[in-house]
Amino acid sequence: MGGQACILYGGADFSRDLDLAIEADEENLEKVRWALERLQAEQVFVPQLGVEQLMRGHACHFRAHATGAEDLRIDLMARMRGCPDFPELWDRRAIVDSPAFGEIPVLSLVDLVRAKKTQRGKDWPMIRLLIEADMLRDADNPDPDQGEFWMQECRTPTLLVDLARREPDLCQKVRAKRPLLERALDADIEGLEHELTEEEAREREADKAYWRPLKEELEMWRRELVQRQRELEGEDS
């Protein structure tokens, strides 16, 4: 669901970690813990891996030490801002056939783009590249849903203007959800660049607001963990 998924879609060429969307129920978490043990993975930050933590929207972080996976960072989530819950993510997943590893399930491109709308600056160029790559692959024969997706999410002004020129009726339809498409219909590149910057700023602020209570909770858990460690050290001494 992260950088590795972007690589498989052709939107990136390198990622240092592995981000996974998982189903948060006890039966599945037992399988996840078994896999983490095989990877000799240690928890590197709060919270503990659990159904409640995942369903509240937290990420659980690990670092692997097994041979062949040394220092691999693994981040696990079950809920992401703007994305549906896991069963729907799974139903909509894409399958990438890798010669080295076989079939790999990844977030659908629609959900991956949604998941990348974060406060982090590095995610926004990735969204742009993901959509550009998708448009390049299927430019000659997009299906209706794909064309609407491009209208809703494309972040390249020249491509938006070209889309609006080729599909003015679709652009008018999607404009109700994305008003900046009015600029595309007018072929106003400078105006589009400004509107896209404003759109990104709004999404970044929304992501900050989403994470604010979660970060407060993480800080509370971190303080509780430090306090327990001090108490245990005091008992040992």
Return the domain boundaries, the chain.
3-115, 116-237
Rounded Cα distance between 196 and 202, Å, is: 10
User: pTM, whole model, 2 decimals?
Assistant: 0.88
* Omega before 47 within 30 of 0, i.e. cis: yes
- For the CA atoms of 151, 154, 157, 158, what is the dihedral angle to 10 degrees? -80
Neighbours of 166 (CB within 10 A): 11
- Please state at what angle helix 168-175 crosses helix 144-153, rounded to 10 degrees: 60
Q: Which single residue is written with the structure tokens 């000659």? A: 140
Note down pLDDT in tens along the chain; length 237 residues: 887 788 777 776 566 789 999 999 999 999 999 999 999 999 998 899 999 999 999 999 999 999 999 999 999 999 999 999 999 999 999 998 888 889 999 999 999 999 999 999 999 999 999 999 999 888 777 788 899 999 999 999 999 999 999 999 999 999 999 999 999 999 999 999 999 999 999 999 999 999 999 999 999 999 988 888 888 887 766
